[in-house]
C-alpha cells in the first residue's frame, strides 16, 4: 500500500530547494509584486492579499530557476522578475475563479474570496488579477523576439478557461477509459499549461534560444501533470488540518480525479465509488470507509505511478541544458513532487 506524507499540502514543494539559489531574486520579486498590487490596494482585503503572502511561490520559482539555468548567476534582467510576478498573479486569478466554480469556502486554510465577499465581488477581484497579470507580461517585453510570449500567455489563459469548462461538463456515466482520457486533457489545460508557461517564459525572458524555451515548457507541463495527480491523491489522504479543506472533497463533489477514475475501473459500476460519482447520496459514516478502500486499491498506486512517470520524463527533458546548480534544482524540484509521497 502506498503511504503518503499527509502533513503537507500537495503543492508544498519546499522552498528550501531553491531559496538559497534565488536569494538575490526573491527580494526583487517581492518588490515587483508590491508594485503590481499597488493599483489594487483600495479594492483588496487583507484576506485577498494573504493569497499572495501565503503562496508557495512555486510557479515563479520555476520561472526564475529556468531563467537562471540559461542566464547563469549574473543579476537577472528586470523583465524576468516582472514575468515571475505576472505569473503569480495569473495563478491567483485562477485560484479565485476555481473557488467560485467549486463553491469552496476555504483557500489555504482561510475563507475564500467568494465565501467572504460573495460571488459577484470574487469574479471582479479575480478578473483584476488576470488583467494585471497580462499587463505585467506586456511590460516585460523589450525586444521583438519576446512578442511570442504575449501570445503564449493569452493561449495559456484560454486553455485554463477551457480546462475549467471541460471539468464542469465531464460526463461521469462515460466508460472509465474515456474518463481517463478526459482527465488528462483537462489536467493539461487547467494545471499543466501554467507550469509550461512558467518554464518557457523563464528561458524566453532570459534571452534563451527558442528551442530551449520550448523544451523547458515541456518540462513544466510534465511537472504540472504530476502535481495535479498528487493533489488528487492528497485529497483522498489528507486531514483538513494539513490541506485546509475536508478530506475526500473530490468524491463528495463528484469530481473525476485520476485515482477515483481508476477505482471505478477497478471495481465496476456497482461499487460505492461509481454509485457516488453517479449521484447517489453519501450516507453518514460511509465516506471514510470508501476513502480507505480507495487508498488501499491498485488505482491509488497506479495514479502515483503515473505522477512519477511524468516527473521522470520532466527530468529527462532537462538533460540537454548545461549541468549546474540551477538545472539540478529544477530536477530536484520535480523529483520532490513525488518523492515526499512515499
Residue 96 to residue 45: CA distance in whole angstroms: 13
Per-residue pLDDT of the chain (342 residues; tens, 9 = 90+): 565 655 554 455 555 567 889 999 999 999 999 999 999 999 998 888 888 887 788 999 999 999 999 999 999 999 999 999 999 999 999 999 888 887 787 777 778 888 889 899 989 999 999 999 998 888 887 776 677 888 899 999 999 999 989 988 888 888 999 999 999 999 999 999 999 999 999 999 999 999 999 999 999 999 999 999 999 999 998 776 555 567 888 998 899 999 999 999 999 999 999 999 988 988 878 888 999 999 999 999 999 999 999 999 999 999 999 999 999 999 999 999 998 754
- Contact between residue 81 and residue 29 where contact means Cβ atoms under 8 Å apart: yes
On whether residue 3 sits in a domain, the answer given is no
Q: Specify if 295 maps to a domain.
A: yes
**First and final C-alpha spacing in the chain:** 10
Q: What percent of the chain has pLDDT over 70?
A: 92
pLDDT of residue 6: 52
pLDDT of residue 59: 95
- Is 213 contained in some domain? yes
Asked whether 57 and 15 are in contact (CB, 8 A), the reply is yes
In a domain, 91, yes or no: yes
In a domain, 261, yes or no: yes
| 236 touches 295 (CB < 8 A) | yes
Any domain includes 176? yes
Flag whether 9 is in a domain. Answer: no
Q: Tell me the pairing of strands 106-107 and 110-111.
A: antiparallel
Residue 114: domain span: 18-329
Number of domain units in the chain: 1
Residue 10 resides in a domain = no
The pLDDT assigned to 191 comes to 94
Kindly report the CATH number assigned to the domain that includes residue 190: 1.10.600.10
pLDDT at 10: 47
Distance CA 165, CA 98 (A): 11
pLDDT for residue 16:
59
- Show the cell assigned to 80: 524576468
d(CA 249, CA 107): 13
d(CA 198, CA 229): 19
Amino acid at each position: 500500500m502506498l503511504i503518503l506524507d499527509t502533513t503537507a499540502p500537495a503543492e508544498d514543494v519546499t522552498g528550501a530547494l531553491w531559496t538559497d539559489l534565488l536569494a538575490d531574486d526573491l527580494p526583487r520579486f517581492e518588490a515587483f509584486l508590491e508594485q503590481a498590487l499597488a493599483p489594487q490596494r483600495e479594492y483588496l482585503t487583507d484576506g485577498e492579499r494573504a493569497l499572495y503572502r501565503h503562496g508557495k511561490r512555486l510557479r515563479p520559482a520555476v520561472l526564475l530557476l529556468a531563467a537562471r539555468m540559461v542566464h547563469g548567476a549574473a543579476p537577472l534582467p528586470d523583465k524576468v522578475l516582472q514575468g515571475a510576478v505576472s505569473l503569480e498573479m495569473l495563478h491567483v486569478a485562477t485560484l479565485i475563479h476555481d473557488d467560485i466554480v467549486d463553491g469552496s469556502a476555504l483557500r489555504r486554510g482561510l475563507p475564500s474570496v467568494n465565501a467572504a465577499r460573495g460571488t459577484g465581488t470574487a469574479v471582479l477581484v479575480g478578473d483584476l488579477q488576470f488583467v494585471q497579470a497580462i499587463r505585467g507580461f506586456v511590460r516585460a517585453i523589450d525586444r521583438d523576439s519576446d512578442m511570442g510570449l504575449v501570445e503564449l500567455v493569452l493561449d495559456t489563459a484560454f486553455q485554463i478557461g477551457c480546462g475549467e469548462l471541460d471539468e464542469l461538463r465531464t460526463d461521469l456515466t462515460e466508460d472509465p477509459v474515456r474518463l481517463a482520457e478526459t482527465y488528462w486533457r483537462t489536467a493539461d489545460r487547467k494545471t499543466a499549461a501554467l507550469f509550461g508557461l512558467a518554464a518557457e517564459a523563464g528561458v524566453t525572458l532570459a534571452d534563451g534560444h527558442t528551442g530551449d524555451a520550448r523544451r523547458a515548457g515541456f518540462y513544466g507541463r510534465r511537472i504540472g501533470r504530476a502535481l495535479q495527480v498528487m493533489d488528487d491523491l492528497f485529497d483522498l489522504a489528507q486531514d483538513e488540518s494539513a490541506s485546509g479543506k475536508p478530506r475526500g472533497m473530490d468524491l463528495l463533489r463528484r469530481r473525476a480525479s485520476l485515482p477515483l477514475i481508476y477505482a471505478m475501473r477497478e471495481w465496476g459500476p456497482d461499487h460505492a465509488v461509481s454509485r457516488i460519482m453517479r449521484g447517489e447520496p453519501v450516507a453518514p459514516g460511509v465516506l471514510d470507509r470508501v476513502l480507505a478502500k480507495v487508498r488501499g486499491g491498485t488505482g491509488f498506486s497506479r495514479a502515483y505511478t503515473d505522477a512519477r512517470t511524468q516527473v521522470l520524463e520532466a527530468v529527462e527533458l532537462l538533460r540537454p541544458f548545461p549541468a549546474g546548480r540551477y538545472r539540478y534544482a529544477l530536477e530536484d524540484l520535480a523529483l520532490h513532487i513525488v518523492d515526499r509521497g512515499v
